[in-house]
Structure 1
Amino acid sequence: MSILTILFLLVISTAAEAQRKPSNITLGSSLTPNSTWPSSSGVYVFGFFPQHDSSYAVGIFLHDKTVVWTANRDSDPTVPDDVVSLLLSPEGRLILRRRQGQDEDVIRLSTTIASASMLDNGNFVLYDSNSRIIWQSFDHPTNTLLPGQRLPPGKEIFSSVSETDYGRGIFRLKMQNDGNLVQYPINTPDTSPNSYYSSITDRAGSNINISLNLDSDGRLYLLNGSLLLKNISDGGFPTQGSINLMRLDVGGIFRIYSLSLGNLTMTRRWSSTDDECVPKGFCGVNAYCTMTTSDDAPVCQCLPGFVSVQSGNNTAPCSRTFSVHVCPNIDDRLKSEMIRVESTEWDETSYEIKIMSEEECRKSCLDDCNCEVANYVGNECRKQRLPLRYGRRNSRSSNVAFVRITTSTVPDLGGDTDHKIIMKKERRIDAIIIGIVLMSIGVLALSISVIFVLQKRKVYMKISNEDGANFVEGISLQVFTFEQLSEATNGFKEEVGRGASGTVYKGVVQNGQKMVAVKRLEKDFAQGEIEFQTELKTIGKMYHRNLVRLLGYCFDGDNKLLVFEYMSNGSLADILFNQEKRLSWEERIDIARDISRGILYLHQECETQIIHCDIKPQNILMDDNWRAKISDFGVAKLLKQDQTNTYTGIRGTKGYVAPEWYKQQAITVKADVYSFGVMLLEIICCRKCVDSGRSEDEAILEEWVYDCYATGKIGSLVRDEMVEERKVERMVKIGIWCVQYDPSLRPTMKKVLLMLEGTVEIPIPPNPSSFLSSI
């Protein structure tokens, strides 16, 4: 018998001996967030541990709080707020018990549990009445392998979302049935273009039983049955007073760590790669990974002319900030140029490869209407369409990428150079004159405003000192003191919502007779007193069944508060993205009609035309009768009479913001139409507009919906819902029209409502853009 075989049998026997230790958890045992079920040595414990945003999850962790296994990770490991205990019930179930008595299984089994043990090797084991193991955590690894644990053929482990969120992340390490240990991004096929690490140990034939194993000294290796196939890491790390473990980190690299049980320090011993930009999918499409020089950390950088659709999220895609190039070019105002990006590597999806010089490659792509990127590799010009994926900067690479950027230009009308210089000077003089006039008007307006503010403050102080208890709805807004609203909200105790401009609290006025929602605006809210009160009084005059009613306000120094009618059933986002609260198709379409009626009122029917600027599910609230009402005018833009557009800084929420915001073009009511279109697609599909947890083809909702529409796969948008395909197709066509890149192609809200009500025909919509719709 070989030495290796003897060592292997010793490892197996040691693990078996550990598993034969008597059970220490009996039926009726329970845990709270302040207690645990420890192993006999106390090194490993089973119980609650902190999850992100001050909540908890359940799993196994070392006594230094290093998490090695997480329960319910495939769905959501976060423990609900109303859970009071974890219980091994007398009926033989491991459950989370809620305050109201509902139970939720931590581990779902068809066999009754008789007892449980937290073993000294880190394995949590459940037994039946005959002391046989019916479940063990070693068979269900999450992101970590412990000594003696194995990853069998066909199984995989997943990274965590973040260092504080232990849900399933975006990378996976798979022990394939062909004998290869391979790493991929999630939601991708097990194919070579998606892999970024391989053990290169595939074996043909039927006698393959290759598993990944970890020894106590940190040696990570592959076994084919009982025969050593390959050492992944050599090990040899200290074992006295230390525990060596393997973990697939958040960034997609798997590593060996040593935890010193004495001083509880974690030391990195070995990594599958030292280049943190190697993992594919670390950055979203049209972005590439690069290392910062300051802290040697990987960051994602968008291609020139692109911005991330979700700031702070590496995996979010980057989308255009410029008009889509059209071929043939029917608009002379659009001009393309090729921007050079040095030393980057991308996934290879070329439609044409030719040998030529670098300059010839740039010009060839510029002259080719189908070419959006040209990668010059060696002496080859590789033409590609967007989007680009799996991008990374490699300083040692000589690759060059040429990215097509479309810019808006004024056509050259000809004429001599001297005439052009004169015209420029005349325009400069005109600009100076206009500037002086505007400055004079500004000084005059400021003087008038100061006088008006002083007079208005006297009136306000008088009102603030009065009782203010009479609530006169439908006539004017009620003015409150800060003390009144502080008392109404019990010291701003119960928070019911939070937005970009402030926090919303539940309150009671009229001697406890009327529920209200009090929004406390941030102190740096940009408006002054006059603009604040003028706009509020304008909004206060509005009344529509699909708008949340503004009832009153408070302006007391830095304290600016708005008082709205209280909406008892929360926001559309609360129910739309919650599978347990999923509404029927007809209910969702009724909500879409309600929202369109409210927007139509803002755009055309109220005294002052309003662009809401932040239409999204979180700003659609549901009343007692489940009627949808538009809320949060915190970023709304009022238009003066005869004004059809405005220029202003970017407002709203990424993912719902129309492309014209990024291009610094005039903003019209069509910006709200775009946001409504995005939300309509969300209402149809019951999912968010950007979902980095989905596959690349489905991550951007607009792109996926149009692809399904164009390829006749409408049914996949509503999955198992029993809805007539023609009804779905009709709503999808409306949504696609609303999210057109060009504002002039989008319908008005009146036209949208008519289409939703089925009173007008809906023509076939064009593709909103040639690839990833700009957001």
Structure 2
Amino acid sequence: MSLAVLAALAVLAFCGTTCPGMAAAAGDTVSALQPLRGNETAVSAQGKFELGLFSPRGSGRFYLGIWYKNIPVQTVIWVANRVTPLSGVDSAELRVSPGDGNLELVGLSQSSTAPGVVWSSNKLSSSSVPSSSPGSNVAVMRDNGNLVLVDGGNSSNVLWQSFDHPTDTLVPEAWLGENKLTGEYQTLTSSRNAEDPAPGTFTCTVDPSGSSEFFLLWNGSRAYWRSGVWTGRVFANMPEAVNNVLFNQTYVETPAYRRITSVLYNNATITRMVLDFTGQIKQYIWVPYSQSWQFFWAAPTVQCDVYALCGAFGICSQRSQPPCQCPPGFAPAMAREWGLNDWSGGCHRKASLHCTGNGSTDGFMELPYMNLTDDSLAVSAQSKAECESACLKNCSCQAYTFSGSGGCAVWYGGFRNLQQLYVDGGGSSSSSLHVRLSDSELRRVRGTNRKSGHLWLVLGIVLACLAALGASGLAAWVLLSRRKRQAKMRNQKDSSLVVYSYADLRAATKNFSERLGGGGFGSVYRGALNGGYAADVAVKKLEGLRQGDKQFRTEVNTLGLIQHVNLVRLVGFCSSRQDKLLVYEYMPNGSLDTYLFKSSLCPSWHDRCGIMLGVARGLAYLHEGCRECIIHCDIKPENILLDKDLCPKIADFGMAKLVGRDFSRVLTTMRGTVGYLAPEWISGLPISAKADVYSFGMVVFELISGRRNTERYDGTGRNSEDDAAAKAAGRPPSTPFFPVWAASRLSEGDAAAAVADPRLRGDVSEEEVERACRVACWCIQDHEEHRPTMAQVVQALEGVVDVHVPPVPRALQHLATNYSELFSEMNLELARTRSNV
């Protein structure tokens, strides 16, 4: 089995599509003698994928496609005739041409009056051996989702395959890359929208210059996101979470091809990656329990980072839904498409500009706080008036901006990729854009504002008169209240949360200049407060992602009610309509992730034991010491912070779930970090506090080994790439999942100290290492009823109770069985690659 490819990329699920009058399947093959007619379908041998005609909901167009057979929401992974849909199915036929042996779709297209060939495999692969008898060729629907055309006389001779011609979706064993022999590229192209699979604006391709990167492109030329080069383990700009225990993405290059590939560890997992019509790569995992696709990962993370998402003259705002808007005086160019979240058509003017040789009567509307596009031209002008005049003199000028330093920039023929920022939200590229409007449209826009202004002026005068009657008393009351509030804030340092203004936190962080790190919901900055809470603090600035408000409320509601030495302290917060910030106590030693994996320091075994015990005590308090059971839902090294004494404190409660004492579990969407998720959560089942126990066990294994669980490990402190050499040297074979090997060593009675971080050079307590390994292995048992509570974990780590040798979890045994074969093949593939470079 060769290492083919899921690749990090794209799918569009045509949710809600229907296939009218689905007929009985005709096996898994199509030939000249056995074509597919009308609503007939071909189903892969094990019933995983189905080939046939489908129609996106409400479109009236029909396409030849492949979709998952047993998923109730029809999810199409490949489309043949994206450009030439059929108008109906009555005359449609998929067959092998008896003349040239190509696979072809015949039917009545929407632009024709008589049936004809609307799609064909057209050119047989130049890398394949020519068919011995073209008329006997056979198309086979395979269980990996690949439609292959093979030589009827030699089934091993693949003449053409759909994996060489992906549309917008990649599934496991598909690929993205370059065929070096033919010069052809396997490129993903987004669909136009949910009702139209025709090629859209965005594409994904490997770097044409030959590097291991892959790009997201707008209009086939403008790169707006890149994966970063292959480091030998991950793509530099992709999060570690993308490589996890469910699948692994990699890059392989041979003399014949270079590809982004993916290995699926568990064949029962159903996952797909899509280049969405909104320009983002999105990955989904199918959850059987909820019978739905769960979103897992996207790039770019911020939707407005997609280049020209809103088309010409459109404005992208991350704080609005939908994110695309038209400026004053403009309207969507294609209103129906905007309703389908296809904003690529952009906006058009409601009234034409007036420009003649005698001058122009046009004016300008100011759009403040804009992240300006980079397609402007510099014009010599010493003042704003000169800049405006220079734009009016050119009939092609659509907008201008003028900076205080004397810089004038104009836009000819339109602008795109404009982003709306907010007060204090922009960087050096934030400025006011002056958009050109016709005089009539400008008067209409300003007239509307003026009428509203007159109404508010009258109301303001009335209110001002009423307010004047009690001005003296009100001023005195405000002054007294302010003094009381400040006194209360000084006294509540150790008791409750402080409400800060945005200006206070901007000053405390020196305008957010020292960034400590960031995550899915925003960035964290260091600051110092001089009142209320006089100390160094860490300020998390939520940056307007879709779930930012929910995460903010969860974190405030959770941390505002609890205090524990092993839980990070929430000092206060800032909440306004535009800004959401959280203020925490500052942790000088950063996260456990940085301290353990990325620092040149090596924590002693004593320090690691203290961290294990501290985190266990913090979780035990959350589960059993609060009024309601709190499930953290995202325990991992990145969410464990260390103070100056290396005391661990659990942080980031944005996903936490409160479970009443009358309930034992809660159903939640899968948003945690794969690699730390309990099996029941991945399966979509309701979770309990035992999900945190599982995550804690995975963290303990990482504390023991000093490396990520998914790193390949040979027991010597090196990442092994040669199992034969390891075996010859008497070392254990490599595994990509440390708990597999550690649990096996425990069950076999081997010395537990051998699994400890080699950087410790044996300076460990063998008894403590064995106890920690046993605790970790009990925590990651498949069934939650077999896992201990966190209170029991604390007792075990303290040595109060004995810990028996745990069984190796079956899931780990299954992984261990498959990994050796899977990764020995990967080693051979990589060895061949190195020898050919």
TM-score normalized by structure 2?
A: 0.39
TM-score normalized by structure 1?
A: 0.42
Query: Which protein has greater RCO, CA pairs closer than 8 Å, 6+ apart?
Result: 2
